[in-house]
Amino acid sequence: MALLRDKVVLVNGGSQGVGAGIVRAALREGATVAFTGRRTEIGEKLAADTGAVFLRADLTDAAQVRGVVEQVVTAHGRVDSLVNAAGLTSRGSLLDTSPELFDAHIAINLRAPFFAMQAVVEHLVGRGAPGTIVNIGSNCAHGGPPYLAPYSAAKAGLAGLTRNAAHAHRWDRIRINDLNIGWTETEGEDAIQREFHDAGDDWRERAAERLPMGKLGQVDEIADFVIFLLSDRSGVVTGSVIDWDQNVQGASD
């Protein structure tokens, strides 16, 4: 049986990468899916390829974040599940991060999920209905490399927000979890490696040689895990911040 049959799912940041993988997986599992993105051409192509609904939105604008939820409710009558998959990974250390870069990371990686959750939870509570939310976090929430200082700060905040919201709304039967993903093979990561790390065409192979499982994290594997957390198959789990990675945080040789 399809895991999300007859559910309405909103994926923020669903145009490409992990978000697009989640869009495809949710559709496969029977959901009606709407997703947001900034770039119209990419979003409309995914919508045409899959049958999902593309909603262009600037997630740095809290009013647009909330407005997207209203659009989905107007079009489909409800929202049952939310995935916050949008992410900014521009590099910056403690010493070279400008206020503008810091604010951009907070806006996309923390503030947007906050107000998307606010709008969806308000809707679910108003309906008296259960629901599920998954936030795509990062193992950088544990500290991260020096060149991802604002990103790590925002993702640590997202982990705390997940726990807080899950606790606050457990009696509403709204389950909220966070998936801290590790190094993942996406179009965006390819661009980042080339722009900030002078990577060549063989960067994936070189990275795989340094990783325990011999490969980068894969979008389809992450998407399947997210679908599990959105679905009833994940049972009562809420407030969990799950490390989805091949390196064990806190361990050392």
pLDDT at 194: 87
- Dump pLDDT digits (tens) for 206-216: 888 999 999 99
pLDDT digits over 49-94, tens only? 999 999 999 999 999 999 999 999 999 999 999 999 999 999 999 9
> What is the average pLDDT across 6-30?
97
Instruction: List pLDDT tens digits, range 145-158.
Output: 999 999 999 999 99
Q: What is the CA radius of gyration of the chain?
A: 17
Identify the helix (H) or strand (E) that includes residue 153: helix 149-168
Q: Which residues are catalytic?
A: 151
Name which of 75-79, 82-86, 195-199, 234-238 the model is least confident about: 195-199
Would you say 125 and 111 are in contact if contact means Cβ atoms under 8 Å apart? Answer: no
Residue ranges with strand state E in the chain: 8-12, 32-37, 53-56, 81-84, 131-138, 174-181, 241-244
Span 95-109, pLDDT tens digits: 999 999 999 999 999
Structure confidence at residue 195 (pLDDT)? 85
DSSP single-letter state for residue 156: H
